[in-house]
Amino acid sequence: MSMLPLAQEGRLRSLADFYLTTIRTAIQQQFQYRAATYMYLVGMVAEPVIYLVVWSTIADQSGGTVGGLTAGEFAAYYIVWTLVRTMNIVFTPYGWEERIREGELSGQLLRPLHPIHYDLAWFAGGKVPWVLFYLPIAVVLTLVFNPTFDVRPLEIAVFAIAVWGAYLIRSFYQSALGLITFWTTRVGALFQLYITLELLLSGRLVPLTLMPEWVQTVAWFLPFRWTFYFPIQTLVGDLSNEQLLGGLAMQVLWTLIGIGLFSLVWRHAIRRYTAVGN
C-alpha cells in the first residue's frame, strides 16, 4: 500500500488539530477579556445601527416605503447586517503591514504552517464569543425597531453557511491586499479604496436594490456582493431555492479565486522579504 495517502491523512489530522486548538485558545482569550471584547463589538455594530436608524426614519417619512422597502424590512435588513458584520471581522491589511514592517513575520515563517492558517483559525474562534455577546444587542434592536421577518428553514441553513463563506472571501482578499506591504511600507490608501468599493458594491452602505441598475450589475461580477448582501438576503430577501444555492456556488467560486490570488501574490512577495525581527 502506498504511504502517500497515510502521509496526507496525517497532515490533514495535524491541520485539524491546529485549527481546533487555535480556535479554542481564541475563545478562551476573548472570554477572559470579555469587557474589552464587548466594547469592541459595540463599536463594530455602531455602523449598521446608524444605517438602520437613518433608513427606517426615511421610510417612515416617505409614506412607509423607500424603493419598495418598508421600515420593518429596513430594520430586518440592518439587524441581520449587524450579525453579518460581526462574522465578517477578519485579519486586515494593517495587520499584515505591521507584521511585515516590524519583522514579526520572520518568526512565523519558521513555523510549519503558513501564517494564513493562524489568522483564519484565530478569527474563526473569535466568532463564538462575539456572536454570544451580539445576541443581547440583537434582542434590543428587535424590540426597538420591530423588524419584518419571514424565514424558511432552508434560508436559515443557507445563512449559516453563507456567513462563513463571506468570512473566507474577505479573509483571502484582504490578506492578498496586505501582502502589498512587501513592496510598499504603507497599505492604508489601497485599503481605503478597497473599503470604499466594498461600501458601494456589497450592500454594506445601502441595500443594493436602492442602487442604480448598472451598479447592481457590476456588483454581481465582483466579490463584495457575496460578502454582505447575499448572506443578509438569505434571511430577509425572498430568494428561491435556486438563488440560494446559486449564491453559495458564487461564494465557493470567489473563495477559490481569493485563494489563488493570495497564493500567487505570496509566491512573488515572499522573495522580497528581508526583515530580521527580534
- Parse the chain into domains and list their residue ranges: 4-272
pTM: 0.90
pLDDT digit string (tens) for 60-73? 787 778 888 888 88
- Residue keyed to cell 455602531: 46
CB-side exposure of 266: number of CA atoms within 13 Å?
17
For residues 213 and 228, give the distance between their C-alpha atoms in angstroms, rounded to a whole number.
18
More confident residue, 109 or 124: 124
The pLDDT score that the predictor gives to residue 5 is 66
**Weakest mean pLDDT among 35-39, 112-116, 166-170, 204-208:** 35-39
Q: 176 and 258 in contact (C-beta within 8 Å)?
A: yes
